Amino acid sequence: MIWKNLEFENPAFLWALLLLPFLVFWFFYTHQRNTATLQVGTTKGFELKKSLPAQLKPLLYTFRIVAIGALIIALARPRNVSISKKTKTNKGIDIVMAIDVSGSMLAKDLRPNRLEALKKVAENFVKERPNDRIGIVVYAGESYTQTPITSDKSIVASSLRAIEYGQIEDGTAIGMGLGSAINRLKDSKAKSKVIILLTDGVNTAGFIDPKTATELAKELKIKVYTIAIGTNGMAPFPYAKDRRGNLMFRKQKVEIDEELLKHIATETEGKYFRATDNVKLKAIYNEINKLEKTKIEEFKYYNYQEQYRGFVFLAIALLLVEFVLKNTVFRSFI
């Protein structure tokens, strides 16, 4: 469409269009002055119907006015502009979420429980990282990779929803979880490598010492954000199942090795957080999202399609028609 995204390179010329009404006025003014008049008592005997060429004579001047207007518009250089955009990520971030799936993650101090609250918040976090690659490691008494690092966010989100308690042997092997996450990132070519390590307990299992894993992360320049999830004081923990297989809960003291988590975060230049409820957990992931920003450059390409030629051709055609008519059909009336 010609007029879509139209702009003028030299819009100042359009002010000249204001001269056109004055040219029209000047034509009729001079036309009246150049027309001979005869004063008689009555003109009834002289009344003759004008011929069609005589009536159409002002059309010549109309052609000229329109031609001048077209030339003015052509001088303003009308053109259509189409813009294409291209984004470039110049600082990619690879992220691995190491998630504790031990039995204590079913505690109900977060609603409906710690694990489900985490899954919901983590999925929203993934959706807000469209330009990063994300992987998932789950751990309890041992650890394994739930999802390798990928840019396909639908796969990551689906994997998060599929996480359940009981997939692996129970326990809390923080060192194993951290070690598996490091293993996912050690060959990464990303400029920034991040682990989000979440747990609700104390390291009680696994054959990898958390501090040893921390030194490895530090050596590989992997930043670790640690999150302790659980309220302060007492919380309802699962301790057994009833005859129907439903979990039974009782109040127990919340025990989290915060010193270890702070050590891991400090040594790797990350940050330690404590999520005591659903709102705080969401706020923590929002803060991490702001701390780890991917730099994106947007390039715009402008494509111009010149439209002035049509106005030039129109002006030439009108002036040519005026010249031909003036010297043929209207010659005897000029």
Q: Residue 90 pLDDT more than 60?
A: no
Q: Report residue 234 CA to chain centroid gap.
A: 44
pLDDT the model gives residue 334: 53
Q: Residue 2 pLDDT more than 70?
A: no
Among 34-43, 179-188, 211-220, 223-232, name the one with the lowest average pLDDT: 34-43
Burial pattern 118-151, b for ≥16 Cβ within 10 A else e, equals: bbbbbbebbeebeebbbbbbbbbbbbebbbebee
For residue 266, name the pLDDT band (cuts at 50, 70, 90).
very high
pLDDT the model gives residue 63: 84
Query: If you average pLDDT over each of 4-8, 66-70, 126-130, 173-177, which comes out highest?
Result: 173-177
Mean pLDDT throughout 247-258? Answer: 95
Tokens coding 194: 């991040």
For residue 27, name the pLDDT band (cuts at 50, 70, 90).
confident
Stated pTM of the model: 0.66
Question: Which amino acid is it at 316?
Answer: I
Determine if the peptide bond prior to 112 is cis (ω within 30°). Answer: yes
Mean pLDDT throughout 70-80? Answer: 89
- Measured between alpha carbons, how far is 281 from 93 in angstroms, rounded to an integer? 22
DSSP, collapsed to helix, strand or coil, labels residue 54 as helix
pLDDT in tens, 29-63: 776 665 545 455 555 554 555 555 666 667 777 88
DSSP, collapsed to helix, strand or coil, labels residue 163 as coil
Mean pLDDT throughout 278-305? Answer: 84
- Measured between alpha carbons, how far is 170 from 104 in angstroms, rounded to an integer? 9
| CB-based burial label for 231 (10 Å; 0-12, 13-18, 19+) | middle
Report the share of the chain in percent with pLDDT over 70: 85
Of 114, 130, 101, 152, nearest to 289 (Cα)? 130
pLDDT the model gives residue 173: 97
Report the share of the chain in percent with pLDDT over 90: 58
pLDDT the model gives residue 1: 47
Tokens coding 221: 């320049």
- Measured between alpha carbons, how far is 189 from 184 in angstroms, rounded to an integer? 12
- Measured between alpha carbons, how far is 307 from 77 in angstroms, rounded to an integer? 7
- Measured between alpha carbons, how far is 323 from 290 in angstroms, rounded to an integer? 71
Q: Report residue 117 CA to chain centroid gap.
A: 27
- Concatenated DSSP letters of 117-146: HHHHHHHHHHHT-TTSEEEEEEESSSEEEE
For residue 266, the surrounding DSSP H or E stretch is: helix 258-267
pLDDT the model gives residue 218: 97
| Residue 248 neighbours by CB distance under 10 Å | 11
Among 85-94, 107-116, 260-269, 321-330, name the one with the lowest average pLDDT: 85-94
Tell me the CA distances in angstroms from 173 to 53, 138, 201, 254, 270, one per residue in order.
102, 10, 10, 17, 20
Average pLDDT of the chain?
87
Among 15-24, 45-54, 288-297, name the one with the lowest average pLDDT: 45-54
Mean pLDDT throughout 94-120? Answer: 97
Q: Residue 287 pLDDT more than 80?
A: yes
Mean pLDDT throughout 283-288? Answer: 95
Q: Which residue has the higher pLDDT, 62 or 254?
A: 254
pLDDT the model gives residue 183: 97
Q: Cβ neighbours of residue 253 under 8 Å, at least 6 residues apart? A: 233, 234
pLDDT in tens, 298-318: 667 778 888 888 899 998 998
